[in-house]
Structure 1
């Protein structure tokens, strides 16, 4: 019997644990989560989109796992009676200057094997009557789901399958011994043969605690959302996205019909003053010190400070935020949106200021560390888990 400890109770950690009990039923699996419940951070604060995989470099982990993950996530939901909707999405060019980038995106979608079509403004209006566009890319396989509900089902399956689930258990240290890995927590020690780190916003810190050098640092970016008031939700039928900037494909506010019928708008992206900083008022001295002393962030900021200023302005001005939405749906005004919370993206940044644009999984003796898994990690979670578990030795060292 091999003893596995999974750190992190978001969708990636729970998916890895579920894959372990599925593929290795004779082994022992323990999941450690510092919060009182599951999906407390990135998973529970995202927009609930089952991504198709349009944006990602062909052949990358994001591209391959997102496409496969979209299918496996739908299959999981069907098998366990979870609500989802494959509603498709429009990526819209709002002026002619964006059309070349839209065409490039179409070629990337085709290279990734996706059902994506370029359509004109008239056909776009058949999908979204209130959208403003000179041309659009329709991606039929995009959907929506409640990833929190997926996590609750995974936890239920884990408990039924004999896994040990420990919430309110924060990792404080890791000691490597010849016979295993000792994980020190706020509720005692756990001894494992293999440690799998899926700690999201804190993944680099867990890696360092475990003595595994990390090539990146996690820098938190807060994404703030608005919600359309009920009487204006009819302006959006599904998902409406802008043509992304190739340098920052995760930037650009969009409109998303949620699985409960509400319509969310956002997110923007501003540097957070805490790794769990869901508002401007949340401040962590430790996290800010990590940011201020990291040369990679300073290099990134010097290169792209104009983007940063634009995002901060939009964060502080509801009018500016609404104006960004009006580029997609001109009928929307500041009076049509209300605050709807925020999420924090764990962005891995290299020392030279480069953004890690693919999933980053580092393996060491007796250890696996998922060091970069932002969107589309929720969509890809079952495939990330399959990838990690498939690479483990049949008989892990004891």
Structure 2
């Protein structure tokens, strides 16, 4: 049969897109292909489980808008499907005067984004969190925690209830775009669809190139290494505890995160990964490494972030350095508190000029839409992201006008190809 839609990728963005496609076009036929035997096996299943309020994003930007909608829609979806979540809130803690000035800018940004926050002095911070040291803090009320794998499973049930198929263990080996359809070969079966949407995360650039698209960027894996605190320290904090982000650095920094199962984690750092899907500390995939070392943008990125990269690598190798990052705002932690847990891997899209792509990046042909970058917080924003993608795909399918072939673009910024 020829499906109306084929979605590649069983992470939370792919599932949300499939769900929204079937909502936008009831009765359409759809198949979702996931190469692993379980859904959400990679980025979705290895994140910190935070429903972000959106305090960090530029007011009026697409990321800010999608995150603000995502907070409400994720919680509403959880309520509808009986998925537990906790509105524990987040404290962003300043430990010196420079961070206080940055905190003030964040507070202004939160107000512009319509996010409810409360400024706390040192005394009020100690009253809320006796184990946390800081000179000032911002309390973000809407931040919550959830199990995103449970969300994925519920989304899959919705897709099936609307007539869609979810096929796991289906690794895509070839994609061919024809005049009226796209054919996807998984080795075991051929799937033909009038429209294809690829939400392949860590493999998104490879899937795009497999389909014949001219992808000038590359996915560079960055490991986010976490530690879990021992069970006896599960009550060390009542909220999520985040440092004030350094605007010169691409990641948020090490934080204390309460998990929905009651445990507390510390992390992540951000170190170069030597395997796109290798979660052990010394995972190494020679194909992955050979690919990024041949990419000029990789070396430009490394040069631009050499100091930060060396510091993160040192802290990855030596727990004592990692501990110092944590003790800036949680001084009671000791080395034995840092017990190992599996890392996460971030699919960082890097342009040929070495710049890290922090916005949405799509590649498009008449019958395909490839989501090559869905920036953080993609899990929080997955439902409105899925709606945005679905509305675009459905509109293009219904339109009689031909879409320009092999077009690449950022949201709000044209990219030359």
* Matched-pair contact (CA < 8 Å) for 1:3–1:192: yes
Q: How far has the Cα of 1:251 moved from its partner?
A: 3.7
Q: How far has the Cα of 1:249 moved from its partner?
A: 4.5
> Taking structure 1 as reference, are residues 144 and 118 closer, same or farther at Cα in structure 2, changes over 3 Å only?
same
Aligned length in residues: 398
Q: Which residue of 1 aligns with 2:194?
A: 193
Give 5+ residue unaligned stretches, structure 1: none
Aligned equivalents of 2:347, 2:112: Cα separation in 1: 28
Q: How far has the Cα of 1:329 moved from its partner?
A: 0.8
Q: What pairs up with 1:171-250 in 2 under 5 angstroms? A: 171-250=172-251
Aligned equivalents of 2:387, 2:203: Cα separation in 1: 22
TM value normalised by structure 2: 0.92
Residue deviations 1:149-205 (CA, integer Å, cap 9, x gap): 000111122222221111110111111110111111122211011110100000111
TM value normalised by structure 1: 0.97
Q: What pairs up with 1:83-122 in 2 under 5 angstroms? A: 83-122=84-123
Aligned equivalents of 1:233, 1:69: Cα separation in 2: 28
Q: Which residue of 2 aligns with 1:286?
A: 287
SS of the equivalent of 2:256 reads strand
> Taking structure 1 as reference, are residues 288 and 395 closer, same or farther at Cα in structure 2, changes over 3 Å only?
closer
* Matching of residue 63 in structure 1 with residue 64 in structure 2: yes
Aligned equivalents of 2:299, 2:252: Cα separation in 1: 19
Moved more, 105-114 or 326-335: 105-114
Aligned equivalents of 1:382, 1:292: Cα separation in 2: 35
Aligned equivalents of 2:347, 2:140: Cα separation in 1: 26
Aligned equivalents of 2:189, 2:67: Cα separation in 1: 37
Aligned equivalents of 2:365, 2:128: Cα separation in 1: 48
* Matched-pair contact (CA < 8 Å) for 2:266–2:326: yes
Aligned equivalents of 1:6, 1:62: Cα separation in 2: 23
Q: What pairs up with 1:344-359 in 2 under 5 angstroms? A: 344-359=345-360
Residue deviations 1:242-263 (CA, integer Å, cap 9, x gap): 0111132424110000001100
SS of the equivalent of 1:331 reads coil
Runs of 4+ in 1 over 3 A off after TM superposition: none
SS of the equivalent of 1:347 reads strand
Q: How far has the Cα of 1:395 moved from its partner?
A: 7.5
Aligned equivalents of 1:102, 1:175: Cα separation in 2: 50
Q: Which residue of 2 aligns with 1:304?
A: 305
Q: How far has the Cα of 1:289 moved from its partner?
A: 1.0
SS of the equivalent of 2:305 reads helix
Q: CA RMSD in A?
A: 1.5
SS of the equivalent of 2:226 reads strand
Q: How far has the Cα of 1:313 moved from its partner?
A: 0.8
